[in-house]
Amino acid sequence: MSAISDLRIRCGHCRAVFPCPIAFADLASLEAAIAAGLVASCPSCGQTVVCSLENMMWRNADGSGGGLWA
Ligand SMILES: [Zn+2]
């Protein structure tokens, strides 16, 4: 599994897209964090965003993408 880079979150409140403050080595690590309740604060509206694969997007080291970009 290739490493994730450029992981971003889309805020469900204001629709802003911002970089995830936490880096993940691979999709399995990201999915584990989501299952554990990964949240991030939107820098645009300040609300807490509950992360899921449906509101995140990322690029893989091999150039492919996932999430909203897939
Ligand atoms: Zn927001």
Please tell me the distance between residue 38's alpha carbon and the centre of ligand 1 in angstroms.
16
In a domain, 65, yes or no: no
pLDDT tens for 30-63 read 999 999 999 999 999 999 999 999 999 999 888 8
Say if residue 1's pLDDT is above 60.
Answer: no
Please tell me the distance between residue 8's alpha carbon and the centre of ligand 1 in angstroms.
13
Select the more confidently predicted residue: 69 or 64. Answer: 64
The total number of structural domains in the chain stands at 1
- What the block records as the tokens of 18 is 């911002």
β-bridge partners, 9: 18, 56
> What is the pTM for the complete model shown?
0.88
Phi, psi of 40 (to 5 degrees): -145, 150
In a domain, 28, yes or no: yes
Please tell me the distance between residue 70's alpha carbon and the centre of ligand 1 in angstroms.
22
Please give the Cα distance from 15 to 36 (Å, whole number): 23
In a domain, 68, yes or no: no
In a domain, 43, yes or no: yes
What is the domain extent for residue 13?
Answer: 4-60
Say if residue 69's pLDDT is above 80.
Answer: no
In a domain, 46, yes or no: yes
Question: CB count, 10 Å around CB of 60?
Answer: 16
In a domain, 22, yes or no: yes
In a domain, 69, yes or no: no
Please tell me the distance between residue 56's alpha carbon and the centre of ligand 1 in angstroms.
13
In a domain, 45, yes or no: yes
